[in-house]
């Protein structure tokens, strides 16, 4: 569609006390860069590689790793991740996906990697020369991680991995996979260990591409007598579950930010359409029913934003001070993820409805956003999982 783009996004939220001057400078620098990019996304795998290259060359992937490994900041900063993902998702959900997976796919190495592992992978993640992936889910082990069936058995030279991972983002294009497997089959979540598996490892098949409604690289991975060296073990033996959860906790608030960016774009598209569209001699925006819908959308966006920024700020303050925050970080992140993704779905649906028939025409922005947002309510913890986390916390602190 050749409709003009909406006005540039507002930066008013940067004045909120959750952010400092470094965050504001980051966001204001990213806005014009993101708006200037023009990537052909008709082939999602080629486009994802292109986005990783561009993000690396632009210096934005440096926020995915700490300064000691070529990163922009001393440690992973949740507020920086939130602002980056919100802005990227506003312009291109696939750009956000490419950025996020560099961080999530390498996060376990940042948290628990040996100096040798960090040196081998993190600088390449930061400059975009290596694409990362996070391999946790299995056909029968999604939210129930303890049901994991993939095995890792010790060998004289290292480890032999056997099993299947599925719904793996960047599957088939990644250069390495942070992979989780049972090293104690009877240990439940306490019997899981993490490994770094290079894409070239013999016995690893990444060809099982998965096609979804909002195209992005996904695959089923098959490990068949996949031998890796002993140095591939990542973190402590049987410490994989805690490592996976720590990694997800860092990035959960940033999932909320991605949804927030999409919601902001949908609202901007709705406002622009309401101002352009003429009906019965008036612009669509002059009708009170339209104004009421836009008001509802704006409130939903701001509610999600405040919870998202709070969760990121709480984590950063905890890291900075080394003290336990007054609130529960996991619960705050769950509230942000649940609210932002659910609110974004509602905002995008209302924006599509406001567009009428144009809203369902392939090629319009709201049509693609409608497909893009749906998966965010599922991955990195479905809405129902977030509800359980929040509910248990409420009962615990009652």
Give the C-alpha distances (Å, rounded to integers) separating 61 from 49, 74, 131, 233: 13, 14, 11, 25
Instruction: Note the residue count of the chain.
Output: 398
Classified as helix, coil or strand, 204 is: strand
**Rounded CA separation 356/354 (Å):** 5
3 state DSSP class of 149 = coil
CB burial of residue 282 (10 Å; 0-12, 13-18, 19+): exposed
The CA distance from 150 to 138, in Å, is 8
Question: Is 159 in contact with 195 (CB distance < 8 Å)?
Answer: yes
SS3 state at 276: helix
Work out the end-to-end distance of the chain between its first and last CA atoms, rounded to an integer number of angstroms: 52
Query: What span, in angstroms and rounded, lies between the C-alpha atoms of 75 and 21?
Result: 17
Query: Which one from 86, 269, 367, 380 is the annotated catalytic residue?
Result: 380
Angle between helices 383-396 and 329-355 (to 10 degrees): 140
- E strands, the chain, are 132-135, 151-154, 158-169, 176-182, 192-198, 204-209, 218-229, 233-234, 278-279, 282-283
Residue 303 token pair: 């509610």
Cα separation, 181 vs 200, in Å, equals 18
For residue 100, give both structure tokens: 């996020």
Is-catalytic flag, 380? yes
Question: Cβ–Cβ contacts within 10 Å for residue 279, how many?
Answer: 11
- State how far the Cα of 184 lies from the Cα of 151, in Å rounded to an integer: 8
Looking up tokens 């960047």, which residue turns up? 170
Alpha carbon separation from 304 to 6, 51, 89, 259, 296 (Å, rounded): 21, 27, 15, 9, 13
Positions marked catalytic: 380
């Amino acid at each position: 569609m050749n409709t003009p783009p909406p006005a540039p996004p507002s930066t008013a939220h940067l004045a909120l006390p959750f952010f400092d001057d470094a965050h504001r400078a980051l966001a204001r620098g990213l806005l014009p860069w993101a708006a200037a990019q023009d990537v052909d996304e008709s082939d999602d795998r080629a486009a994802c590689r292109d986005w990783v290259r561009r993000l690396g060359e632009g210096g934005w992937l440096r926020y995915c790793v700490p300064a000691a490994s070529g990163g922009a900041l001393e440690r992973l900063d949740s507020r920086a991740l939130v602002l980056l993902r919100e802005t990227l998702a506003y312009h291109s959900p696939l750009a956000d996906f490419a950025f996020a997976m560099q961080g999530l796919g390498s996060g376990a190495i940042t948290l628990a990697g040996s100096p040798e592992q960090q040196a081998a992978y993190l600088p390449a993640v930061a400059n975009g020369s290596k694409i990362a992936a996070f391999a946790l889910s299995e056909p029968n082990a999604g939210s129930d991680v303890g049901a994991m069936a993939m095995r890792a058995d010790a060998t004289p030279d290292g480890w032999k991995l056997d099993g299947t991972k599925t719904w793996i983002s960047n599957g088939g294009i990644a250069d390495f996979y942070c992979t989780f497997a049972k090293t104690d089959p009877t240990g439940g979540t306490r019997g899981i260990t993490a490994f770094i598996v290079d894409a070239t490892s013999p016995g690893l098949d990444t060809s099982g591409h998965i096609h979804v409604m909002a195209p992005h690289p996904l695959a089923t991975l098959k490990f068949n007598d996949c031998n890796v060296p002993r140095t591939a073990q990542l973190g402590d033996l049987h410490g994989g579950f805690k490592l996976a959860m720590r990694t997800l906790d860092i990035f959960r608030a940033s999932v909320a930010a991605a949804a927030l960016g999409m919601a902001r774009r949908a609202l901007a598209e709705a406002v622009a359409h309401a101002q352009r569209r003429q009906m019965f001699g008036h612009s669509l925006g002059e009708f009170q029913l339209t104004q009421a819908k836009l008001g509802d959308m704006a409130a939903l966006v701001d509610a999600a934003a405040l919870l998202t920024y709070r969760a990121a700020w709480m984590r950063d303050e905890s890291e900075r001070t080394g003290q336990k925050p007054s609130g529960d970080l996991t619960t705050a992140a769950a509230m942000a993820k649940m609210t932002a993704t659910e609110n974004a779905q509602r905002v995008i649906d209302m924006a599509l409805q406001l567009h009428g028939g144009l809203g369902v025409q392939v090629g319009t922005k709201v049509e693609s956003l409608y497909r893009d947002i749906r998966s965010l309510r599922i991955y990195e913890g479905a809405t129902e999982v977030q509800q359980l986390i929040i509910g248990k916390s409420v009962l615990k602190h009652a």
